[in-house]
């Protein structure tokens, strides 16, 4: 277990969980189209544990498997406000089945593009079909932050980043900055 985790997360962690490094741009793995989960087995449950540990430690409100380098179609999410009231959610093989005509703009950030925030316009409401960790199918209608976060995470499993929804000028600028920073680390 990551020893830097606070006691607050203790009940959500187990000794087998592992804190992972988050994949950052310009890493090409973020452009992969992730593969569907075929069977929810012990490997998938361990992956979900690791996603939660890494997401809470970051901290972030969502984390797709590809962000820890695993190209499988699943992500974790927790939109709870208070640290002592966790609301962990897992979405496996999610599909957007409907989007509203109405749009909403939200300032987004991404753990794979640290400390960069920009307004993104997306459908304000979506319906999403997915499997939970027990393999049970659900379909939910979402709005607000949940709708934004679902679309952001489903983008990740299709190799899409929130900067793909902003102007090319802004996108090129942020990619250039992170590419330069990565080269400096290499050198």
- How far, in Å, CA of 86 to CA of 12, rounded? 9
Alpha-carbon distance 121 to 129, whole Å?
22
Q: Which is nearer to ligand GNR, 53 or 153 (CB)?
A: 153
From the candidates 101, 115, 139, 153, give the one annotated as an active-site residue.
153
Catalytic, 108? Answer no
Residue whose C-alpha is closest to residue 92's, from 146, 141, 140, 40: 40
How many Å apart are CA 78 and CA 16, to the nearest integer? 21
Quickly list DSSP for 93-120. Answer: EEEEEEE-SSEEEEEEEETTEEEEEEEE
Q: Write down the least CB distance from residue 63 to Ni ion, Å.
A: 8
Least distance from Ni ion to the Cβ atom of residue 110, Å: 3
Summarize as ranges the residues that interact with ligand GNR (CB under 6 A). 60-64, 67, 108-112, 148-149, 152-153, 156
Could you give the string, one character per residue 87-126, with x where binding to Ni ion holds by CB under 5 A and - elsewhere? Answer: -----------------------x----------------
Instruction: Return the residue nearest Ni ion (CB atom).
Output: 110
Residues noted as catalytic: 153
Residues that bind Ni ion (CB under 5 A): 110
């Amino acid at each position: 277990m990551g020893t830097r985790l606070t006691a607050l997360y203790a009940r959500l962690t187990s000794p087998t969980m592992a804190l992972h490094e988050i994949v950052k741009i310009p890493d090409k793995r973020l452009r992969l189209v992730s593969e569907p989960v075929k069977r929810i087995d012990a490997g998938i449950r361990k992956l979900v544990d690791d996603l939660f540990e890494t997401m809470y430690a970051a901290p972030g409100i969502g984390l797709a498997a590809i962000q820890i380098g695993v190209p499988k179609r699943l992500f974790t999410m927790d939109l709870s406000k208070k640290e002592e009231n966790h609301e962990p959610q897992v979405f496996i093989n999610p599909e957007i089945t409907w989007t509203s005509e109405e749009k909403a703009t939200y300032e987004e950030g991404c753990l794979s593009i640290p400390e960069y925030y920009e307004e993104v316009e997306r459908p304000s409401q979506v319906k999403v079909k997915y499997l939970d960790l027990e393999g049970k199918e659900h379909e939910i209608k979402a709005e607000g932050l949940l709708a934004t976060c679902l679309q952001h995470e489903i983008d990740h499993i299709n190799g899409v980043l929130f900067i793909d929804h902003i102007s090319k000028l802004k996108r090129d600028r942020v990619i250039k900055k992170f590419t330069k920073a990565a080269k400096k680390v290499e050198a």
